[in-house]
Structure 1
């Protein structure tokens, strides 16, 4: 994964963010964002990484980012991260849905994205 700034266009790969500020900038720069909150050493997080990449490539209207909340602990409280991986969908900077049920395949994430957008 490559480290990205908030203004990077990420239609075909996830951006790796390193701070709360970078996440805020990314959310401001994109209308629809899926954020993967992961932790180092988490086998489920490592397993979902290629799935997240496929999701990024499959959705032209979606910017995808990954961030380790342990790198900026304020994220843990702000987004109530209690397990990893946690996927959070944002639209126009507002949380629209959350998927925190461990490893998810591409079909499950697509269904989550479609369902969260319909709310």
Structure 2
């Protein structure tokens, strides 16, 4: 069970790099301000942080445009799961309920 109760809010690529380098399993939501689906994902991400071993974070690629190319962000919200510092899975289906995000994390946590 993760010790983090709510998602970390990251300000850009440097913070993202630091987090994925220090935590073994990290779920990151790429979002934008004003995105209704992104906002509705925030409580879902809090639930995921409480019930999985993943550290959960949120980053706005609009604050660091290089993230859009680096992680091929074409729509928001996009969820990317990092394991041991590497991206291992992505989910870019808009709003996703808690149980589906938890299943996504658990499925890819130890491929």
TM-score interval (norm. to shorter): over 0.9
- Give the alignment's Cα RMSD to 1 decimal: 1.4
Give the gaps of 5 or more residues in structure 1.
1-8
In 2, Cα distance between equivalents of 1:15 and 1:94:
18
1:23 to 16, 36, 49: 16
For 1:12, the equivalent position in structure 2 comes to: 5
Pair 1:57 & 2:50 matched: yes
Residue 92 (1) aligns with residue 89 (2): no
Counterpart of 2:30 in structure 1 is 37
Is residue 101 of structure 1 aligned with residue 93 of structure 2?
yes
Following superposition, which runs of at least 4 residues in structure 1 exceed 3 angstroms of deviation?
A: none
CA displacement at 1:115 relative to structure 2:
1.9
| Residue 118 of structure 1, CA deviation | 5.0
What is the number of equivalent residue pairs in this alignment? 110
Higher RCO by CA contacts (8 Å cutoff, separation 6 or greater): 2
1:102 match: secondary structure: coil
Q: TM-score, normalization: structure 1?
A: 0.87
**Cα offset, 1:81, TM superposition:** 0.3
With the length of structure 2 as denominator, give the TM-score of the two structures. Answer: 0.93
Residue 46 of structure 1 and its aligned partner are, at CA, apart by 0.6
The alpha carbon displacement at 1:57 in A equals 1.2
Alpha-carbon distance, 1:58 to partner: 1.2
Q: CA deviation at 1:62?
A: 1.2
